[in-house]
Chains A and B, each alone.
Chain A
Amino acid sequence: MTATAGAAGARPGGFRAMRDRVSTLAAAHRSITIIVGWIIVATALPILMLLPPFSTFQPQKLWIDGFTNAGVFILLALGLNMVVGFAGLLDLGYAAFYAIGAYTYAFAASPTVPWISLHVPFWPMLLVGAAVAAMFGILLGAPTLRLRGDYLAIVTLGFGEIVPAVFLNADKVTNGTNGIGGVYKPELLGYQFTLGNPVPYYIAMVAIIAVVMIFVYRLQDSRLGRAWMAVREDELAAASNGVNTVTTKLLAFALGASTAGLAGVFTASKLTLVSPDQFSFSVSFTILAMVVLGGMGNVWGVAMGAFILYTIQSVVLKQLNPFFHTLNVPFLKDIDFVQYQFLLYGVALVGMMLLRPEGLFPSSRRKRELHTELDDDVGDELGPDPSSSPMEGV
Chain B
Amino acid sequence: MSALTAGPGAGLVLQAYKVTKAFGGLVAVKEVDLEIPPTSIVSLIGPNGAGKTTFFNVIAGILDPTSGYVEFRGARMIARPIRAWFEPVVWVVPSVVAGVIAAIVNVATANADATALLALAAIGLLIVMFLAAIVRPRWYLRLLAAAGVFRSSRPNDMVKAGMGRTFQNIRLFANMTALENVQVGMHTKMRANAADALLSTPRARADERQSEAKARDFLGIVGLKGRSGELAKNLPYGDQRKLELARALASEPALLLLDEPTAGMNPRETAEMTQLIDRLRRDLAISILLIEHDMKVVMGISDRIYVLDHGELISQGSPAEVRADPRVIEAYLGKPVT
Contacts and interface: CB of A to CB of B under 8 A. Distances in A.
Contacts of B208: 221-222
A366 B188 CA distance: 24
B228 A376 contact: yes
Contacts of A245: 156
Among the interface residues B154, B167, B216, B253, which one has the most CB atoms of the partner chain A within 10 A?
B216
A230 B214 contact: no
B134 A246 contact: yes
Interface residues of B, number: 70
B130 A394 contact: no
A230 B173 contact: yes
Interface string A357-383: 000000000100110110111010111
Contact of B171 (A237, A247, A376): A237
A227 B180 CA distance: 10
A230 B184 contact: yes
A220 to B, nearest CB: 9
B185 A242 contact: yes
B216 A375 contact: yes
A250 B197 contact: no
B194 A255 contact: yes
A222 B164 CA distance: 22
B187 A241 contact: yes
B251 A241 contact: yes
B188 A233 contact: no
Contacts of B183: 223, 226
B60 interface: yes
Interface string B153-167: 011100110001101
B87 interface: no
A390 B225 contact: no
B146 to A, nearest CB: 22
B46 to A, nearest CB: 22
B62 A383 contact: no
Interface stretch (A59-67, A138-146, A168-176, A312-320): A138-146
Nearest to A391: B284
Given A218-B197, A383-B217, A142 B284 contact: no
21 contacts: A218-B200, A219-B198, A222-B196, A223-B190, A226-B180, A234-B173, A237-B167, A239-B155, A241-B159, A241-B251, A242-B159, A242-B185, A369-B228, A375-B216, A381-B225, A382-B220, A382-B279, A387-B283, A389-B221, A391-B221, A391-B283
Interface of B: 60, 62, 127, 130-131, 134-136, 154-156, 159-160, 164-165, 167, 171-177, 179-180, 183-185, 187-188, 190, 192-194, 196-198, 200, 204, 207-208, 211, 214, 216-223, 225-226, 228-229, 231, 247-254, 276, 279, 283-286
